[in-house]
Chain A
Amino acid sequence: MDTLRVLIVDDEDDFRETIVKRLKVRKVLAEGVASGIDALKVLETQDFDVIVLDVKMPKMDGIETLRHIKKLKPEIEVIMLTGHASVEFGIKGMQLGAFDYVMKPAPLNELLDTINQAYNKKRGLPH
């Protein structure tokens, strides 16, 4: 079985690093970047199965980053990370091709479940 590759895009350093750390111990090849621009840069050289994308980021927000990702690498599944009051961005993200959205703060298991479902979809497995 291939190892699941996940990119976490969030400008909250503590949050991003902690999630990456926790995913890594769960045998997920996780990496983190602090902005949409950095994410697009990384995608030029690396491939990922799933991207977890925060909606609210300075300069390039989650929705705009999603548009670029879907143009650049449409096969990658994207999960939007939204606040409770910005669910509409999650829905908008799904309209633009995101797999699902998860509301912050979410327990890690919920996030991991969604990541796995997205990964299954990408591999053509039931999700």
Chain B
Amino acid sequence: MSMFSIFNVSGSAISSQSQRLNVVASNLANADAVAGPDGQGYKGRQVVFETVPMGSDASSGVKVSAIRESNEPMKRVHNPSHPSADADGYVLQSNVNPVEEMVNMISASRSYQNNVEVMNTAKTLMLKTLQMGQ
């Protein structure tokens, strides 16, 4: 039954999008984190999506192939009273841009909703197909 693979395809998309939401959540949570004693602050992360063939040519799902760390420079904030400030009074903060992350979050949740809707429609159609001829 070919329509069953819709659940695999949309399911893979939903799990990838929820992984993306997770990454966004951890980026946002660490947006204001300062570098620890080792001088390594939190680096923003981004998921990388990749197409995976599922069964036939017609259906292709999604998977998260990698989670990459952003290479943008850390934010340097002048705050001499901060306990982890360096000799010049600067504190290194994470390189996460909260506005970008919010946009990313909205995009991920919209895609998630779309895929849930696809699954619901497929389910309704299949249930109606089961009742064929009655």
- Answer yes or no: do A and B interact: no
B: residues with CB less than 8 A from A are none
A: residues with CB less than 8 A from B are none
